[in-house]
Structure 1
Amino acid sequence: MASDLEKREGTPLPTSGPTSIPQKRVLDDDHVPAISSPLNPNPDPKLTKAQSHDDIPAMAREKRTKKESLKKRESKGVSAPDSVRATPDPKLVSNEPTLKDSSPLRYKLAPPKPSDFEPARAPVFTHHHDVPALDGTTISFYETSEHVYNKKNFHYTHCIADPNFPSSFYYRQTEPEPHGSHISFEDAATHMYLDQSGRHITTDKGFRMARANIGVRQGRWYWECKITRGMVKTAEGGKIESHGHVRLGFARREASLDAPVGFDAYSYGIRDVEGQKVHMSRPKDFFPTGEDIKEGDVIGLEIQLPSENLHRKVVQGQYNPAVDILDDETPSAEGPNIVRDRIPIRFKAHIYFEKIDYHTSKELEDLMNPSPVGASGTANSAAEPPNPNHQVPSLRTLPNSYIKVYKNGVLMGTPFTNLLAFLPPASKPQAQVGAREGMDDGMLGYYPAISVFRGGAAECNFGPDFWYPPPGYGTKDTDGDVEMTGTDGDTVTVVSEKPAGNVCPLSKRYDEQIVEDIVADIVDEVDFWMQDGCRVIDRTGGRDEKADVTVDIAPGREEIKELVQDD
């Protein structure tokens, strides 16, 4: 491990940066923070435009020399319209200016406050209203506050100061309560109301969307959703009465939260009206005639994605269907290239990592609005349908990928196949100073998503105990049986306990993400520690006489500046 890390080059110095702490200003209408920060130093409007698709060198940079790193994801959030913010202006401290993509960008930070070592806090719940449940009980919905929301261009995750890290990188990722898989409080549109478990959601506004705190990158996964407020048939003539509407499905990071699931090319949804499937705002019949989704129905969603090994071959233009389709499950000798450029930001009682989010591409906008000349004003690259070998990375699809839909345990069919790829360069960070192309921060993937409309409400169940488990779920898989002979000569068959067909509950994915976060934090810290000469440096701003100062760095700020979000 050490031999691989010693081959790394130094972190590049930003070409420009602010020289003083900026004053707070109101965000512009596009939700782009107008205040300088290490990830957003005085952005030029020209730099915020979406870039064209990647070239071959950009694809090649996706591979990481650090082979021992594991995949990792992030979630949760920041920045809202009519809000003001002020982020810190730390100094970059790396003394090796030639490292390009294998290490995160590094900044000089102020010493942590004592409160920075305290566990992350859950949002504040304020009771908003009650609705009757289907079983005669009452569901209490709450308005969440004291947290930030993910908005366009920037993404935020909870972090905590860690006294065990030996370098000047003080913070690691963490998770607040409620622990476990649930709808993300930060990764949701405003004016959405949840219960305190984070599994039940509604709104009194128009269509809004919320994503779960778990994302799928490979494998087969299942979750389900119960409609608790929606369409219902009346006793008089079987007429349909609406108490609101619900849509559900899967959405990528780039999908808009202020629109329903299936609005754009970054999400796939099922609508309650006639059980239609929706992608790129095009409803199409899917459920059998006479079927729809009403109050009390449980909709199960199963997603399958190929291995990340095959996925990377697709996005790098190296996919050969004659060979690679049989090599889907072969483990890769090289781990995913997870690089996270981020910096701590304060928000009231919380500490968040701020990072630049991924942006929509003009090619997928053109795909949504097909014409001889696309919506971007250029020749429409979507003339060739999306496929695994498309010339444009964002229009490449994943072989053997699909989404299946169940209603009350009965398979309705497979509305979506050949899902669009999402690993870089198919997805790219927002073009701003400090954002590097081709970076996978571990959070890319397909997230369970729910949209509600004017009173519609739904309850998520990510397992492992489902209302209507998928066929074969929870049964013993005898394909992997192993016969063992005991000392008494008896033969014992050891049966694996995994679900048949390797269909996993999404609750298990939450546990995987925690492991990925821990490993990625350790890998980053070892990287920085080696840049410090493998010695503990002064983490106290000169207040600790026993600390060993091994690097010459500029003085840090007196504190990390706060983000302020208006209600």
Structure 2
Amino acid sequence: MSTGTASPAREATPPGSNSLSIPTKRALDDDHQPAVSSPLNPDFKSKDNAPLAHERASRTKKESLKKRESKAGSLAPDTSARATPDPKASTSKSKKTESDLAPIRYKLPPPKSTDFEAPRGPIFIPAHAKIAPDGTSVQFNETTDHVYNKKNFHYTHCIADPAFPSSLYYRQSESEPFNPRLNFEDTSTHMFLDEGGRHITTDKGFRMAKGNVCVREGRFYWECKITSGIPKRKHSDAHAGPDNGHVRMGWARREATLDAPVGFDAYSYGLRDVRGQKVHMSRPKDFFPPGEDIREGDVIGLEINLPSESLHRKVVEGQYNPAVDLADEGNTSIERADIIRDRVPIRFKAHLYFEQIEYHSCKELEELMNPSPVVSSSGGFGAGQEPGPTHLVPALRTLPYSSIKVYKNGQLMGTPFTDLLAFLPPASKPLPQVGAREGLDDGMLGYYPAVSVFRGGAAEVNFGPDFWYPPPGFEDQDDEVDMIGNDQPATKTLELNKLRAVGERYDEQIVEDIVYDIVDEVDFWMQDGGVSGKGVANGVRASGVSVHNDLAGGLLDSSEIKELVQEDD
């Protein structure tokens, strides 16, 4: 449960009052009355017993009820900030009901015959070519006929499948090329990529692209090679040409904006090519030795280390105790957390996508990036407290034993970042709007490989396993885990400590998506009475929540899936 909720609105100052007027003296017996009872004042009598206090409490309750009624009795779930509390419901919010742990179900028309065709990738329009430092030519293309993860929504490919009738025939899928790469949907506009999704550049200002794989726990590594950037020249060479653009690389969460470089906000950690500085929340700090840059042809390796999801959930749920949790024992629980994906199929230029409300930046992290003197001086909720694993605000809690290491051409340069910010709910929240439900994990929260390019800068990503500069010990640990039986607890810790190629997450994510789809299908099938197809035509919804959204479709009652119109900026 998030403790970082906004405080109630302050009551207006009564007319005629003057904050500068001299207050009247209180009665003598109230001058030094303690605020709470204690053994030293057994005769303590709370001021709340006074009739005036009763009147204030009644008036405050009436006003809060009026505010709730003014919100038109939203039927959003209890986890939503817009929800109107049910007086018959339990006052405890720590226990989620069965409907809270089920995905939203929509009424959809029968799928078209073309909906059963395999998803297609973008159309590539040749733009220009660049010569890499090794002499090879890279053809960059403009990508079109695909949707971008913007407008506060997240998109994944889907396909109609007759094996999923209770889920209204739609399940998640992938498009070519079927390998770990940069995500065509998870890039900013006006960027150019090769058909393999490994090379990227732009002729605009700083823009970001993320990989199609994310890391949620364990140690993972990937590489970024500078194709076009700071030339290989000496600082004293005054006749050398200008820089060929710039590149930044790092790790970014789902909430990190795509129209800015890596390290722009609190949701990403980046490395600058200029002087090799580390960047977080737009604050560059020296990291590489003096005079060291990241130049054309250099390969930067980025390793991330995240604790187990069991420890992660302890942190975000406020159960982490540094005096007790002295080490990460791995995933100690057999049961994994529920993965809930509220999504609806939409059509975009003959393509089918699942659309779901995106996780959004929160005010606490925005305040952390740009501190307000007013908020800091007022001593608001958690104000002035540095991020940490036991912070009062879940979004400002950090992960113990987490870090990012940086390598340059195979040489370890150091660890620029430690204690990374947590990302599991309630540390991550969806954009507050109709249909959004807080506290739910859709299985794709985590840290993504990210690269940013600026005005001609170009880079190539390598998600492994054949790295240009494998990190020390990477090729000598394949059989390390097999030495211990799978039934021993030590195996879980070794698996987390094993350094892996981030590309391995691609196949794992596909397996996870298949499992989540099957779980949803069985869930809906049981709600239909255990008979496949029963109740589907009536549009029965698992959550019982009535929502409508212009893009997400809401409770679709038309004869056609809504078509998304998305213009390039």
Task: State TM-score, norm by structure 1.
Answer: 0.76
TM-superposed deviation, 1:262? 0.3
C-alpha separation in 2, matches of 1:283 and 1:58 = 44
After superposing the two structures, state which structure 1 stretch, 530-539 or 405-414, moved more.
Answer: 530-539
After superposing the two structures, state which structure 1 stretch, 168-177 or 531-540, moved more.
Answer: 531-540
C-alpha separation in 2, matches of 1:109 and 1:480 = 47
C-alpha separation in 1, matches of 2:318 and 2:235 = 59
C-alpha separation in 1, matches of 2:119 and 2:252 = 26
Letter of the aligned partner of 1:101 in structure 2? D
C-alpha separation in 1, matches of 2:338 and 2:235 = 60
Partner of 2:472 in structure 1? 471
Partner of 1:533 in structure 2? 529
Partner of 2:405 in structure 1? 404
Find the partner of 2:511 among 498, 508, 515.
515
* Structure richer in strand, relative to its length: 1
1:21-420 paired onto structure 2 within 5 Å? 60=94, 99-234=98-233, 237-239=236-238, 241-374=242-375, 379=380, 381-420=382-421
| RMSD, aligned α-carbons | 2.9
- Residues 460 and 105 of structure 1, relative CA distance in 2, 3 Å threshold: same
Determine if contact 1:306/1:328 at 8 Å carries over to the other structure: no
Where in structure 2 are there 5+ consecutive unaligned residues?
Answer: 1-71, 75-79, 83-90, 486-493, 539-554
C-alpha separation in 2, matches of 1:478 and 1:116 = 43
C-alpha separation in 2, matches of 1:279 and 1:244 = 21
- SS where residue 210 of structure 1 aligns? strand
Is the aligned partner of 1:503 residue 2:479?
no
Partner of 1:435 in structure 2? 436
Any idea what the Cα deviations from partners look like across 1:130-173, whole Å, max 9, x if unmatched?
A: 11121222111000000010114211111001101141522000
- Residues 455 and 482 of structure 1, relative CA distance in 2, 3 Å threshold: closer
**How many residues align structurally?**
458
TM-superposed deviation, 1:323? 2.2
- SS where residue 379 of structure 1 aligns? coil
Partner of 1:524 in structure 2? 520
C-alpha separation in 2, matches of 1:561 and 1:454 = 37
TM-superposed deviation, 1:294? 0.3
Partner of 1:447 in structure 2? 448
Determine if contact 1:363/1:381 at 8 Å carries over to the other structure: no
TM-superposed deviation, 1:332? 1.6
C-alpha separation in 1, matches of 2:482 and 2:444 = 35
TM-superposed deviation, 1:537? 1.9
C-alpha separation in 2, matches of 1:510 and 1:135 = 28
Determine if contact 1:405/1:411 at 8 Å carries over to the other structure: yes
Any idea what the Cα deviations from partners look like across 1:495-530, whole Å, max 9, x if unmatched?
A: xxx999510001101111001000000000100000
Letter of the aligned partner of 2:518 in structure 1? I
Where in structure 1 are there 5+ consecutive unaligned residues?
Answer: 1-41, 45-49, 64-97, 485-497, 543-553
Determine if contact 1:276/1:284 at 8 Å carries over to the other structure: yes
Any idea what the Cα deviations from partners look like across 1:285-337, whole Å, max 9, x if unmatched?
A: 00011211000000000000000000000000000122223243143232122
C-alpha separation in 2, matches of 1:199 and 1:277 = 23
- Residues 111 and 408 of structure 1, relative CA distance in 2, 3 Å threshold: same
Larger Rg: 2
Task: State TM-score, norm by structure 2.
Answer: 0.76
Partner of 1:15 in structure 2? none
Determine if contact 1:403/1:417 at 8 Å carries over to the other structure: yes
TM-superposed deviation, 1:437? 1.1
C-alpha separation in 2, matches of 1:347 and 1:165 = 22
- Residues 384 and 229 of structure 1, relative CA distance in 2, 3 Å threshold: same
C-alpha separation in 1, matches of 2:360 and 2:351 = 26
- SS where residue 505 of structure 2 aligns? helix
